[in-house]
Amino acid sequence: MPRTEYLLIAGTASAALAPLVARELGIALTPCRIERFPDGEISLEISDNVRRREVVIIQATSPPVNDHLVELILLADACRRAAASHITAVVPYFGYARSDRRRGLRAPVSARAAATALESSGIGHVVTLDVHAPQIEGFFSIPTDDVEAMPSLDAAIGPLLDEQTVIVAPDLGAVRRARDASRRLRRPMALCLKQRSSGTQVEVTGVVGNVDGRSCIIVDDMISTGATVAESARALLAAGAREVRAVVATHAVFAPGAAERLAGSGIRDVFVTDTVAAAAVGWPATPLLHVTSVASLLARVIRRLEAGESLRAPG
């Protein structure tokens, strides 16, 4: 493998994705030993010399979120103490992104606390993919870039489109992504009006836009419990939609029960990326699920970062 000016290190959360990125880049991953003691503490050591080298760490903070967040912090701390010249953290899925404000007078802003912890570990630049709340960029005082991964799924869903297809946002938080997908795919857009009563209980109270007799594709940034997209699918069918052809999301977090909710909702296909490792969340072996890799996208982003080029519309 050719020597580069930077080293690529993988955390365990992205152990499946990182080798694909390394192959796209034409480099080898830097060897790193990561172990867990019986009490859960993490022990790690980077095998190669990182002194005065730029380091890129690929590590999603996916479930178990706290373990993977601490692992990322320790990887960065190890590089900092070994005199790496600069550390970039590529975080395909940023956990705690939904906790972007206080839910009560004595509640934390968890996304800010996670950002502060990453900064204090020596990370100098953070790259995320389709982070849930764009304002999280303001929680960091170091450079951050949020890269749009949703266009990577356009080719996968292209064969599903017809003249009657409608792109649907399952709630107000998904409007921007659905609007962008609507423009790229040149299809009209609709919106589901959602009320959430708990972490797993939601109610869709209405649909804005014409879905009668149409095929619907639901677009969101993540599938966690599956409650939002499942209830949206039921509401769309009740509003006269011909079918809910697919749900498209960047992050397949898939909390327990999500697969069952999706399977019983009338959704025909689920399209996601590999920002979250399937083994980490126990994705079911189901013909509903189609996975598109973001490895080539991340490789292009890393190339541009290391070349000092703009990340606008990578590729």
**151-155, 228-232, 265-269, 286-290, range with the lowest pLDDT:** 286-290
What is the band of 255 on the pLDDT scale with cuts at 50, 70, 90?
confident
Give the chain's domain count.
2
Residue 122: the pLDDT is: 97
Query: Could you tell me if 19 and 10 are in contact, meaning their C-beta atoms sit under 8 angstroms apart?
Result: yes
Average pLDDT over residues 41-48: 96
pLDDT at 98 over 80: yes
Residue 158: the pLDDT is: 93
On whether both 160 and 77 belong to a single domain, the answer is no
On whether both 177 and 127 belong to a single domain, the answer is no
On whether both 166 and 271 belong to a single domain, the answer is yes
| Domain boundaries, position 36 | 6-149+296-307
Query: Could you tell me if 100 and 138 are in contact, meaning their C-beta atoms sit under 8 angstroms apart?
Result: no
Question: Is residue 312 a part of any domain in this protein?
Answer: no
Question: Is residue 42 a part of any domain in this protein?
Answer: yes
Query: Could you tell me if 184 and 151 are in contact, meaning their C-beta atoms sit under 8 angstroms apart?
Result: yes
Question: Is residue 314 a part of any domain in this protein?
Answer: no
Would you put residue 83 in left (φ > 0), alpha (ψ -120 to 50) or beta? left
Question: Is residue 315 a part of any domain in this protein?
Answer: no
Question: Is residue 208 a part of any domain in this protein?
Answer: yes
CATH number assigned to the domain comprising residue 176: 3.40.50.2020
pLDDT at 38 over 90: yes
**Quick count: other Cβ atoms within 10 Å of Cβ 77?**
16
The b-or-e profile of 161-179 (16+ CB within 10 A means b, else e) is: beeebbbbbbbeebeebbe
On whether both 160 and 136 belong to a single domain, the answer is no
On whether both 122 and 230 belong to a single domain, the answer is no
Question: Is residue 178 a part of any domain in this protein?
Answer: yes
Q: Active-site positions?
A: 194
On whether both 30 and 93 belong to a single domain, the answer is yes
pTM score, two decimals? 0.92
Distance (Å, rounded) from C-alpha 16 to C-alpha 315? 22
Residue 192: the pLDDT is: 92
Question: Is residue 201 a part of any domain in this protein?
Answer: yes
> What digits encode the pLDDT tens for the residues 64-78?
999 999 999 999 999
Residue 67, H or E segment: helix 65-81
